[in-house]
Amino acid sequence: MLGFSLAPVAVTLAIIGFACPFAHTHERYLVILELLVIVGILLLVVCANGRRWHARWLEYRFLAEQLRQMRMLAPLGLAPRSMHAPAHHAFAAPEASLASWQFRAAVRESGLAAENLDHDRRWRLKTEVVLPLIRDQVTYHRLVKKRHEQVAEGLHVTHIVLFVATFIIVLLHLAHEQWHLFPYWFPSVASVLAAVFPAFGASFAARATQGEFHRLAERSEAMAERLEAIDQQLEGLSDPSVARLGSLAEEAADLMLAEVLDWRVMLLARPPELPA
For residue 20, pLDDT over 80 is answered with no
In whole angstroms, give the CA distance from residue 190 to residue 20.
10
In whole angstroms, give the CA distance from residue 205 to residue 213.
12
Q: Comparing C-alpha atoms, which of 233, 234, 221, 224 is closest to residue 129? A: 234
What pTM does this model have?
A: 0.85
pLDDT value of position 267 = 86
Residue 162 lies in a domain: yes
For residue 166, pLDDT over 70 is answered with yes
Q: Comparing C-alpha atoms, which of 114, 105, 109, 104 is closest to residue 77? A: 114
pLDDT tier at 73, thresholds 50, 70, 90: very high
Residue 80 lies in a domain: yes
Residue 275 lies in a domain: no
* 3-class secondary structure, 116: coil
For residue 91, pLDDT over 90 is answered with no
Do residues 4 and 210 lie in contact, with contact meaning Cβ atoms separated by under 8 Å?
yes
Residue 276 lies in a domain: no
Residue 37 lies in a domain: yes
- For residue 33, CA distances in Å to 9, 36, 201, 202, 210 come to 10, 5, 22, 21, 27
Q: Which domain holds residue 218?
A: 2-268
pLDDT value of position 22 = 65
Q: What is the mean pLDDT of residues 169-174?
A: 96
Number of domains in the chain: 1
Query: Tell me: the pLDDT tens digits for 123-151?
Result: 999 999 999 999 999 999 999 999 999 99
Residue 274 lies in a domain: no
pLDDT value of position 1 = 59
Structure-derived torsion over alpha carbons of residues 8, 10, 13, 16, reported in degrees to the nearest 10: -50
Residue 257 lies in a domain: yes
For residue 229, pLDDT over 90 is answered with yes
pLDDT value of position 122 = 93
Residue 101 lies in a domain: yes
pLDDT value of position 4 = 76
For residue 93, pLDDT over 80 is answered with no
| DSSP H or E stretch at residue 67 | helix 53-73
Q: Using a pLDDT cut of 70, give the percent of the chain over it.
A: 92
- For residue 265, CA distances in Å to 94, 109, 212, 258, 261 come to 9, 28, 13, 10, 6
pLDDT tier at 152, thresholds 50, 70, 90: very high
Query: Tell me: the pLDDT tens digits for 25-67?
Result: 778 888 899 999 999 999 999 999 999 998 899 999 989 999 9
pLDDT value of position 182 = 92
pLDDT value of position 109 = 84
Q: Using a pLDDT cut of 90, give the percent of the chain over it.
A: 54
pLDDT value of position 206 = 85
Alpha-carbon 22 to chain mean position: 42
- In our burial notation (b when 16+ CB lie closer than 10 A, e otherwise), range 94-106 reads beebebbebbeee
pLDDT value of position 276 = 58
pLDDT value of position 266 = 85
In whole angstroms, give the CA distance from residue 196 to residue 190.
10
* Mean residue pLDDT across the chain: 88
* 3-class secondary structure, 97: coil
**Residue 39 burial (C-beta neighbours within 10 Å; 0-12, 13-18, 19+):** exposed
For residue 17, pLDDT over 80 is answered with no
pLDDT tier at 2, thresholds 50, 70, 90: low
